[in-house]
């Protein structure tokens, strides 16, 4: 009987060990470097959350010419959105600036997010023509702007009406007619999707919406609790619901799960909050777990490693914590430590 109980216990321990930190060493047991994919692949820097191939469609499947007459399209999920004359969804990038207009999407980013040419662009019904403008890109071409924000299409939107770029990396958003991020219940030009970075914007849009529309704009769809940000330098890495990069600490351990970030460490590195793994998309659900910290709070774990955000990351997508002190590293979409240089 004792032999049977012992054997059963051993199997349980082995199964738990395999589930936690599989394929990697715990802290203090050697380097667990994981290779990162070629960051030069088209679109690898700013691509979607999905865990698939991430292939960007061939150039001839993406409309890259002038926008023509901009249109307003109603969306059940996003409210009023802006499309080009062919119905392709138009986007803005939070890392750009509207005053003065400036694009910060070049190189691989511009492959995944083609800039919309300002040539022949015009405002259709529901769009204030005074909000249209242009900005000169690094290559000398003129890019369309809406309320000062440079305008883009998304390479993975292969047919009219697609909105696959919404929320990518926590920094890409479908455009509303007033140049702000489109949000359900906002209405055309209602201004309900208030964007602090716009600083008031160039004009209030095509008319202020009703009070009901403004109230509805406050009910935003919840962001994915964990997302995949395809960083140009690090490859696909994990972010929290606010787009903040998630990091792991080499001095922690995955088996047994243990944190060594305590006291003063917590002033700089904030334990990521536990999430409902049933709501996680883009990464295997079995990688997601929780860990009870010494103070009794629940911390998110990825592949059984406690994960954190870095107070030095000021904007969504920042990777200022990468490689800090040689012990803090971003986490890949496979749950592994990323050791590439940021």
pLDDT digits (tens, 9 = 90+) for 47-79: 332 223 334 444 344 467 788 999 999 988 888
Provide the pLDDT for residue 19.
55
Paired with 70 in beta bridges are: 123
pLDDT over 70 at 122, yes or no: yes
- Give the whole-angstrom CA distance, residue 43 versus residue 110: 8
Say which residue, 51 or 182, is predicted with more confidence: 182
Residue 209 has pLDDT above 50, yes or no: no
Mean pLDDT (the chain, rounded): 76
Q: Give the per-residue pLDDT at 224.
A: 75
Rounded to whole angstroms, how far apart are CA atoms 3 and 221? 54
Band (170; pLDDT cuts 50, 70, 90):
confident
Q: What share of the chain has pLDDT > 90, as a percent?
A: 49
Cα distances (Å, whole numbers) of residue 282 to 53, 230, 299: 11, 12, 20
- Mean pLDDT, rounded, for 103-122: 92
Q: Tell me the Ramachandran region of residue 187: left when phi exceeds 0, alpha when psi lies from -120 to 50, beta otherwise.
A: left
Cα-trace Rg, the chain = 23
Looking at the predicted structure, is the pLDDT value of residue 231 above 60? Answer: yes
- The answer to whether 117 and 73 have CB atoms below 8 angstroms apart is no
**Taking 50 as the threshold, does the pLDDT of residue 254 lie above it?**
yes
Q: What is the per-residue pLDDT for 213? A: 34
Range 196-219 average pLDDT: 32
Please report the pLDDT score of residue 96 as a whole number: 93
Please answer whether residues 89 and 83 qualify as being in contact, where contact means their C-beta atoms are separated by less than 8 angstroms: yes
pLDDT of residue 283: 87
More confident residue, 295 or 200: 295
Highest mean pLDDT among 37-46, 214-223, 279-288, 329-338: 329-338
Q: Is the pLDDT of residue 245 over 60?
A: yes
Predicted confidence (pLDDT) at residue 194 exceeds the cutoff of 60: no
Average pLDDT over residues 239-262: 93
Q: Which range, of 125-139, 180-194, 251-265, 272-286, averages the lowest pLDDT?
A: 180-194
User: Does residue 218 or residue 245 have the better pLDDT?
Assistant: 245
Please give the pLDDT value at position 144. Answer: 96
Q: Tell me which of 41 and 22 has the higher pLDDT.
A: 22
* Digit-coded pLDDT (tens) for 211-229: 333 333 333 344 678 988 8
Q: Please give the span between the terminal C-alpha atoms of the chain, in angstroms, as a whole number.
A: 56
For residue 259, the model assigns a pLDDT of 96
pLDDT mean over 234-245: 91
Mean pLDDT of 315-335: 93
Residue 286 pLDDT more than 60? yes
């Amino acid at each position: 009987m004792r032999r049977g109980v012992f054997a059963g216990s051993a199997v349980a321990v082995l199964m738990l060990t395999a589930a936690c930190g599989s394929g990697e060493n715990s802290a203090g047991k050697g380097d667990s470097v994981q290779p990162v994919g070629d960051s030069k692949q088209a679109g690898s820097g700013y691509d979607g959350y999905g865990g698939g191939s991430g292939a960007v469609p061939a150039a001839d499947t993406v409309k890259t010419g002038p926008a023509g007459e901009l249109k307003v399209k109603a969306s059940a999920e996003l409210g009023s959105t802006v499309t080009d004359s062919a119905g392709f969804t138009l986007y803005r990038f939070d890392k750009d600036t509207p005053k003065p207009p400036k694009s910060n999407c070049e190189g691989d980013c511009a492959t995944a997010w083609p800039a919309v040419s300002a040539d022949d662009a015009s405002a259709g019904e529901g769009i204030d023509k005074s909000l249209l403008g242009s900005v000169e890109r690094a290559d000398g071409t003129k890019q369309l702007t809406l309320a000062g924000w440079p305008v883009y299409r998304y390479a993975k939107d292969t047919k009219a009406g697609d909105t696959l770029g919404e929320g990518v990396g926590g920094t890409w958003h479908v455009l509303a007619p007033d140049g702000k991020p489109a949000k359900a219940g906002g209405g055309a030009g209602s201004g309900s999707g208030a964007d602090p970075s716009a600083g008031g914007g160039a004009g209030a849009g095509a008319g202020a919406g009703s009070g009901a529309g403004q109230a509805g704009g406050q009910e935003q769809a919840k962001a994915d609790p964990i997302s995949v940000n395809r960083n140009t330098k690090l490859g696909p890495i994990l972010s929290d619901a606010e787009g903040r990069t998630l990091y792991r600490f080499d001095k922690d351990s995955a088996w047994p799960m243990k944190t060594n970030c305590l006291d003063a460490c917590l002033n700089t590195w904030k334990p990521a909050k536990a999430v409902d793994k049933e709501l996680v998309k883009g990464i295997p659900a079995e990688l997601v777990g929780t860990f009870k910290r010494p103070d009794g709070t629940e911390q998110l774990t990825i592949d059984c490693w406690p994960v954190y955000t870095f107070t030095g990351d000021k904007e969504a997508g920042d990777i200022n914590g990468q490689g800090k002190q040689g012990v803090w590293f971003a986490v890949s979409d496979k749950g592994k430590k990323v050791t590439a240089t940021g």
